[in-house]
Amino acid sequence: MEREFFARQPDAVARMLLGKLLVRRLEGGVRAGIIIEVEPYFGAEDPASRARRGGDLARVMCGEVCTALVYGVHRQWLLNVVAHEPGLCGAILIRGILPVDPGTLKPLGREVLGPGRVTRYFSVDKALHRTYLCDEDSPLRILDGLTFDDECISRSPRVGVREDLPIPLNFRIRRECLTREDF
């Protein structure tokens, strides 16, 4: 993926991330998954955003797009990718993937749902915080994958937030669109 892909409003990038391929290089090989669920977060005006608290997370959210934002919640690491228009803040939480063979994109099993499960599957921890995901040599990358039509996308409120924006910002590929044989 190119940096420019991420230099847009977080909700627009979030919708377009569905179907993209998240790839993690490990010593034992490569793990890959099609991104199937995401949630965008905005700057300090977003009541559920980490940018409201200031500090390092806010600086990263307002910094270079296509950068990994990794932080811990409830003893789990969460993976976000920074995405925003110039001069603004934003990031997209990766909430779910479908594990696939990196060469063929054929599914390898059931969906991995929940941001903590996603990071465990990919062995993501704080060491990957601030990793630039658009670099060919990066141990964690986002690549082009599959395209899903709008009828395959559901929208709902973000999961587990106490105070949210008035629009549904959880984007997910519908399960029936993941069971097709035409992958």
**pTM of the complete model:** 0.94
Please give the share of the chain, as a percent, with pLDDT higher than 70. Answer: 98
98 vs 51 pLDDT, higher one: 98
Distance from C-alpha of 37 to C-alpha of 112, rounded to nearest angstrom? 10
Through-space distance between the first and last CA atoms of the chain, rounded to whole angstroms: 20
pLDDT of 22-67, one tens digit each? 999 999 899 999 999 999 999 889 988 988 888 999 999 999 999 9
For residues 11 and 49, what is the distance between their CA atoms, to the nearest angstrom?
Answer: 13
* Mean pLDDT of the residues in the chain: 94
Least confident of 8-12, 59-63, 93-97, 102-106: 102-106
- The residues, any chain, with a CB within 8 Å of residue 51's CB and separated by 6 or more, are 41, 42, 43, 44, 57, 58, 61, 62, 89
Percent of the chain having pLDDT more than 90? 83
Q: What is the 3-state secondary structure (H, E, C) of the chain?
A: CCHHHHCCCHHHHHHHHCCCEEEEEECCEEEEEEEEEEEEEECCCCCCCHHHHCHHHHHHHCCCCCEEEEEEECCEEEEEEECCCCCCCEEEEEEEEEEECCCCCCECCCCEECHHHHHHHCCCCHHHCCCECCCCCCCEEEECCCCCCHHHEEEECCCCCCCCCCCCCEEEECHHHHCCCCC
pLDDT-derived band at 180 (thresholds 50, 70, 90) equals low
**What pLDDT, on the 0 to 100 scale, is given for residue 183?**
55
For 129-140, the pLDDT digits (tens) are 999 999 999 999
Q: What is the pLDDT of residue 112?
A: 98
pLDDT above 80 for 118: yes
For the chain, list the domains and their CATH numbers.
3-178 (3.10.300.10)
